[in-house]
Amino acid sequence: MLKQMSLAEAMRTDVETIESDAVLIEVGRRLRKREIGSVVIVDDGPPVGIVTETDLVEFLVTGGDVETVTAAECMSSPLITIDASSSIIEAATLLREHNIKKLPVLSDGELDGIVTTTDLASYLPQFSVQRTSRERTEGRVPRPNPEMAYDDEGWQFEYRDTTSGTFGVGDVVEFSKVVTDADVRSFAEISGDTNRLHLDSEFAAQTRFDHRIVHGTLVSGLISAALARIPGLTIYLAQDISYLAPVAIGDRITAVCEAAEALGNNKYRLSTDVYDENDERVIEGEAVILLDDLPDIADEATEEG
């Protein structure tokens, strides 16, 4: 049961610490060298504060002098901590109540580790951090064509027109993106599919896959993204899919859809395959779509995000 799971099982013990009289330039060097997001301030005894990347950036924006100002002057204090004997549910509650992302863990009053929102998300899928509206729109770029509301700088799209301007047999549309951990956690929450195979590394390591994998339905979703970029208004009528291989989180996958048959009345049958970054086919299938004309509003020069 999660309520009985000790925080000691989820926390990290390799905590970076620094003295309160250290100047901020040294704090920044530690963050960069270790590629971490925070350092805990410890002198003699229990920890007294924490300095995060966000704290440091906000200080720099105000024009502060990192060569003279000390960690004690920039740290968050009083420090919110938790005992190692607590449960991960109690840790999650503290993080939410205080709107923080990192929580030092103490044993007998001394620093023993640290737990973050990311750590807990592996055990509590429902605790995955919600992205802010700003984070949701970061990376967006103007829509590439009138069918789309917006695009993203990390997405790749190609349309190969073999029929001189009108969609027809032989035309190919491709859509590619990296499937991130954030994508998987967001999909789990939206769909309700919180299978630990997709969310819990320790659990997944004991399965036939040896590691977490992307939801199959999320992978097949790239087919929809590709089809939506066919010129005109694409309406899905049918989809047949076979899952051939798992997709690892962090892989770039590409949906390749080719018009195979014109069925009449603007209906088309397409092959719909998805490939991983090693060009291994992970999904094969076919779809039937209906192409309608775009509404007049699609020609208006609007941008989202």
Give the model's pLDDT for residue 141.
60
Q: How many CB atoms lie within 10 A of CB 146?
A: 16
In 3D, which of 116, 113, 114, 138 has the Cα closest to residue 129?
116
pLDDT at 164: 67
Residue 76, token pair as written in the block: 């968050």
pLDDT, residue 126, reads: 44
pTM surpassing 0.75?
no
Residue 24 near residue 74, CB atoms below 8 Å: yes
Cβ-based neighbours of 244, under 8 Å, separated by 6 or more: 281, 282, 283, 284
Among residues 228, 218, 152, 223, the alpha carbon closest in space to that of 189 is found at: 218
The topology under which CATH files domain 133-299 is Thiol Ester Dehydrase; Chain A (3.10.129)
Structure tokens given for 71: 């960690």
The pair of three-digit structure tokens given for residue 129, joined into one six-digit string = 């951090």
Q: What is the DSSP string of 177-227?
A: EE--HHHHHHHHHHH----HHHH-HHHHTTSTTSS-B--HHHHHHHHHHHH
> Residue 130 has what pLDDT?
46
Q: What is the pLDDT of residues 146-164, one digit of tens each?
A: 777 677 777 888 888 877 6
pLDDT for 272: 96
Q: What per-residue confidence (pLDDT) applies to 305?
A: 40
**Partners of 195 in the beta sheet?**
none
Q: SS3 string of 44-107?
A: CCCEEEEEEHHHHHHHHHCCCCCCCCEHHHHCECCCCCEECCCEHHHHHHHHHHCCCCEEEEEE
**What pLDDT is recorded for position 132?**
46
What pLDDT score does 231 carry? 86
Q: What does the pLDDT read at residue 44?
A: 83
Q: Where are the domains of the chain?
A: 2-127, 133-299
286-301 CB burial, b ≥16 within 10 A, e <16: bbbbebeeeeeeeeee
Which residues lie below 8 Å from residue 192, measured CB to CB, with a gap of 6+?
none
pLDDT for res 63: 77
For residue 122, what pLDDT is reported? 60
- How would CATH label the architecture of 2-127? Roll (3.10)
End-to-end CA distance of the chain: 42
| Residue 32 confidence (pLDDT) | 85
293: left (phi over 0), alpha (psi -120 to 50) or beta: beta
Q: Which residues of the chain, if any, have pLDDT below 70?
A: 1-5, 121-145, 149, 164-165, 297-305
